[in-house]
Each structure stands twice: as C-alpha cells, then as structure tokens.
Structure 1
C-alpha cells in the first residue's frame, strides 16, 4: 500500500458512519454568522483598540461633529484638505471657517495634487470594536480610494451605530456593498510597518496620522 492509498483508506474509514452528505446538516452548529459577540461596551473597546494602533480618537455628540473635526484639523497643523462630495455641508463650513483650504475631487485630482494636500476628511461604512478597524466602502461621503491613501492625515467620522463587535458582524453589514462590487478599504490605525529591524516607520503606504471622531 502506498501513501495515497493509506490516506484515502483512513478518510473512508472516518466517513463510514456519515449518513448525511450535506456537511452543514451533518454537524449542526448553533452559531449564527454575523451575530454580535458579547462584550462589556462596544464603543469603549473600539476606542481602546484604535488608540492601541496610535490613532487619535475624539468622542462627541452628533451635533458637535463639525466643530470637533475643525478643531482636530487645526490642532494638527492641517492647512488644506480634500473633501468627498457626499460629506455634510456643516463639516465643510466649519473647516472653511477655521481657515483651512478645502479642495474638491471633481474633476479627480491628480496624484501630485493629492500629495500636496495635507489631509482628507471622510465618513465611514462600518467599524470593528474587537480589532479597532474602520472600513470604507467608498460611497459618496468617503470618496475614491486614492483620497484616503495619498494625503498625510486622514480624519474619519464614525457614527456610534456603525460600530459592531467583530469581523463577521462587519462583513454581514457590508454584504450590500460587496454585492454591488464596491471597493472596500480596511484601516487599522495610521499606516506603519516594522518590517526592517522591527523599527516602526509611519506613512509608508498610507496616511501617517489617523484621527477618529466617534459621533455618539
């Protein structure tokens, strides 16, 4: 008997008592994909994990988002930003009132033009408490992917109702975007790598600074 015959023989022996050909029916699993994972406080865990990735997180009420966005940008020394077309006008007005130059991406800015802009402000699609990950599906309030990869600072607004417990729950929420063929960008902290001698280098393949406004 060769190795192949021995392996197949063991497989046949292990399956001898299996009468149900459908593996899902043969081994019932009570776990439901996309069901929330229990944790003490989803928002607190999300903030903790974002900060662990060296992102700056600010929590505020929904009515204070525009002012908080402008304050964070100004405090970080951001003097110019690009804004996706679908963002709330109150955010744009607050940013302009803070003396920050606003650029539109219509027509699309070139890579050189984006590289000369300090930051970008976007909304988000869903965020994951367990991993501190923010997912963009690049709807109108998030813009195309290049906007969130080239400027050095990314400020993203996350609504409290967009924060889920874990990755399976997030994937379930993103089903419509996936079906529609939308690109997805998963962000876990500022862009960084420690590939060379375990020395952390930031801004290698994306924004060096990540600010998160959690609107509760």
Structure 2
C-alpha cells in the first residue's frame, strides 16, 4: 500500500520549530520532519495538519499546550455537529486542527492523539483523486467532489483532499495565498509535483539513532 512516508515542514528556524512541536504536541522527528527554508509565502498555504484525538479533554489539553508554546488561536475550541475541536497556527505558520468525534470524556485527559491527518486543499477534488489513485494511493472514504480520504498504514500520516476554499473556511482563514506551500511529502509514489503544486519526494528512511 502506497501512502505518505513522511511530512517535511519548511520553516525559517528549525530549532525553534522543533522545540514548539515537541513541547506543544509531543511530536517525534519520525512524524513531522523540519527543513530550513526562506521560500516566499503569503496567506493560506493550502494545507492543514490535524491531530485526531479520543475525547474533548484531550483537545483542550493539546490546544492549551500549543497556545502556551506560542501558537496563535484561529478558532477557539467548540462543540459542533461532528464533535469538538479547535484550530491554532504554529509559530512557523503551519495550521493545526485538533479534533474529536466524541461528545464527552470517557477517561483520563492526556495529550495523546490517535491519528495525524494531512489535508491538502485542492481546486478540483475529483481530478486530484484520480491523480493520486493513478499513483497507487487507495481511497478509504470519498464524498463526491467535496472530500477524499486515503488509506494509511498504522502510525503513518493519513492523506486527504478537500476543496481549497472549504479547507480555508474550516481553518478560519481567507483562502488567498501565494508562494511556497512550505511542505514536502515523501513516499514510494514520488518524486512528482501534483496539479495543485504540492511536491513529493522519494521516500527516505530516517537515520538510525544510537
């Protein structure tokens, strides 16, 4: 099964970004990599990353930790028809949504998350779906031209497609944006650049640690 091996965020200060992600979300280098970049970028970068958790208390714990570590609130945590969640923007500019489908807590509150989901904002969901299926990704869920979710292996990043304008609205930001996406994906499907400008590289394993 082909999927995303890793996600690399291109940031201006890798040391500061590493400190933020470790402190706020407890992310390891195997989950999100960082790379120095000064590539021009303005406005919405066309993607969001989501931490899917098991209960509302975990949402609050992660959002609070992110804000304490320097994140900017974009959408305050709140209940909705689908569950409970909030949106923050990391100091490096990456937008993160923390959410759960659960309506109430059923256990001790932690900052653990169950899934890491990458939502790519695309102009044509159906066309982007065809593009990725031809490159070996397997569709897990599909809702016409609105949303597509691909299958991901255990512990890996789950890729999904959403209309760019709808994704920006969900994140609480204007849809306009120019320049670099400031994200690079890696996997067995690469290297290529998709129709919406997202760059994929060939998958490279993380270096062994002592």
TM-score by length of 1: 0.25
The structure with more helix, counted as a fraction of residues: 1
TM-score by length of 2: 0.26
